[in-house]
A and B are shown apart, each in its own frame.
Chain A
Amino acid sequence: MAEIWTNYGWPLTWIILKIFMIIVPLMISVAYLTLFERKVIGAMHLRKGPNVVGPFGLLQPIADGLKLFFKETVIPTGSNTIVFVLAPIVTFVLALLAWSVIPVGAGLVLADINVGILFLFAISSLGVYGVLMAGWASNSRYAFLGALRSAAQMVSYEVSMGFVIVTVLMCVGSLNLSDIVEAQRTVWFVFPLLPMAIIFFVSTLAETNRHPFDLPEAEAELVAGYNVEYSSMTFALFFLGEYANMILMSAMTVILFLGGWLPPFNLSIFNLIPGPIWFAAKISLCLFVFVWVRATLPRYRYDQLMRLGWKVFLPISIGAVAVIGGVLVASNILPLNNTG
């Protein structure tokens, strides 16, 4: 009996504890990201933003959550019930799943797998299913149109994202996320690979269906896109999933280009601050840009969106793979496999 506990019981309990240590802060961040977004946009519009519930409106996310929780879940009669209920769950679970491989500090990661970046890329490319399933199962024209737009958009921007990741991988020589961060100890990749970083960030905006690429939920033409038929907690799951995805994409940007948990300069005063705090600060910076873009830019037209993805980003990123690979080989600084 004791053997079963030490072999299976304790590791399982420990893993579940670690999962909670990731999910609970994540959920709190998602809740306060909504408040952050409303406050920042409010400031940019010269408004106050939510300021009634609690001091400085700090209890607003909890009030919003409670409101959604106590509402009735309406499932349309014409809908495909199982897929309809499954869609928000898929969105939400995928947004959480990816966090299992994100290193928040040196060695602070749930699963330090060898193909971490591919895992992240796979999970982020699956996000489209929640949207597609929701749009189809709702049996509503607006939701369906939103889902189709979203599917086309996410598939298009994934391609250039993949090539940008390849350029970073060529500079690292490993698919492990911790290795990718450690490779940036001398210089963050955002400096040598600035164009790639910009393309990656814009692609993450499109991948998370955020402004200026939020055509899937263009409220003026499609009411609210794929989630128009959803109410109460099913809607809340979409909402949480979308915001968790924003944080996830920011984390990916930080790991690939902004040096993860590493401090900006190798100074002792910066090294005093623990890695997870640097990581969180950099993610917050990315999230601020997400919100800033939303407050500033108008929405793209659909054909312009497709043009940007296929005719601008894709050629540039493919060309960059060739150029950066060529430069690395020519100057003989290609990171070779020295693990074996």
Chain B
Amino acid sequence: MILEALAFYVFSGILVIASLLVISARNPVHSVLYLILAFFNAAGLFVLLGAEFLAMILVIVYVGAVAVLFMFVVMMLDIGPTELQQGFLHYLPTGGLIGIILLIELLIILGGWHFSPELAKTVGAPIPPLTKETNTHAIGAVLYTRYIYLFQSAGIILLISMVGAIVLTHRRRQDVRTQKISSQVNRHPRKTVELQNVEIDKGI
């Protein structure tokens, strides 16, 4: 129990500090590294909750793929600390206003948040207790049955956005010579190599 509490405070503490450092670090690459640290600690919190499948998916998807691309882009852009601070005052009023509005909205929602007493009765238990089944099985059992339409529509949205991104950025250039591997492999040796008897001192 003590160990769990200790682990919780360590993970949450590092998570909060790392998240603050993401937005306050001067170097954007450092920001991405702090973001990765934050993801890791969030995964640690998931493990403490007994949701080890979500923890691993968080690390694989966010740290293993998304953050790599962030880092890739940030490294390539080579933004120095000075460029980031330009226009800070210019954007401050708009950004601050949006932030304040969101904060007020959150406060209104969370302030009036309460569970109705009948709720506990109406909630069916779609997921069996973790002692009976691993949470991978539990997630699979509801995701592909009860929530199949939501799952499929999420997939379709991702597919459409992917196709859209490719259509918008892909351009076919006419002036490059691409390798056509199939035609190379299909080429007959007789058409390309010719054996000739060359007379000495004559050449072809």
Q: Which residues of A contact B (CB under 8 A)?
A: 8, 80, 83, 113-115, 118-119, 121-122, 125-126, 128-129, 132-133, 136, 144, 147-148, 151-152, 155, 158, 162, 175, 303-304, 307, 337, 339-340
Q: Is the CB of A114 within 8 A of B68?
A: no
Closest chain A residue, CB of each to CB of B132: A340
Could you tell me if B64 and A122 are in contact, using CB atoms closer than 8 angstroms?
yes
- Assess whether B52 is in contact with A113, with CB atoms less than 8 Å apart: yes
Closest residue of B by beta carbon distance from A122: B59
State whether A83 touches B128 (Cβ < 8 A): no
Given known A-B contacts A339-B134, A339-B137, A128 and B68 have beta carbons under 8 A apart:
yes
Instruction: Tell me if B52 and A114 are in contact (CB < 8 A).
Output: yes
Those 6 A-B pairs whose CB atoms lie nearest each other, nearest first: A125-B64, A118-B56, A122-B59, A340-B133, A114-B134, A122-B60
Contacts known (A136-B75, A340-B137); A155 close to B63, Cβ less than 8 A: no
Could you tell me if B133 and A122 are in contact, using CB atoms closer than 8 angstroms?
Answer: no
Chain A positions within 8 Å of B53 at CB level: 114-115, 118, 175
Nearest neighbor of B3 in chain A, beta-carbon distance: A8
Known A126-B59, A129-B68; further 17 A-B contacts with Cβ < 8 A: A83-B29, A113-B52, A114-B53, A114-B134, A114-B136, A122-B56, A122-B63, A132-B71, A133-B33, A136-B29, A151-B72, A158-B65, A175-B53, A175-B136, A307-B181, A339-B133, A340-B133
Report the nearest A residue to B54, measured CB to CB: A115
How far does the alpha carbon of A147 sit from the alpha carbon of B75 in the complex, in Å?
10
Q: Please indicate the chain B residues that have their CB under 8 angstroms from the CB of A155 in the complex.
A: 65, 68-69
A125, B65: Cβ atoms closer than 8 Å: yes
Bound Cα distance from A307 to B132, whole angstroms: 45
Q: Mark B35-71, 1 if CB is under 8 A from A, else 0.
A: 0100000000000000011011101100111001101
| A/B interface sample: 20 pairs, CB < 8 A | A83-B29, A114-B52, A114-B136, A115-B55, A118-B53, A118-B57, A122-B64, A125-B60, A125-B65, A126-B63, A126-B64, A133-B33, A144-B75, A148-B76, A151-B71, A152-B72, A155-B65, A158-B64, A175-B136, A340-B137
Counting CB contacts under 8 A, is B179 at the interface? yes
A-contacting residues, B115-136, CB 8 Å: 128, 132-136
Provide the residues of chain A in CB contact with B55, threshold 8 Å. 115
Instruction: Give which listed residue, A115, A151, A152, contacts B56 with CB less than 8 A.
Output: A115
Q: Which residues of B contact A147 (CB under 8 A)?
A: 75
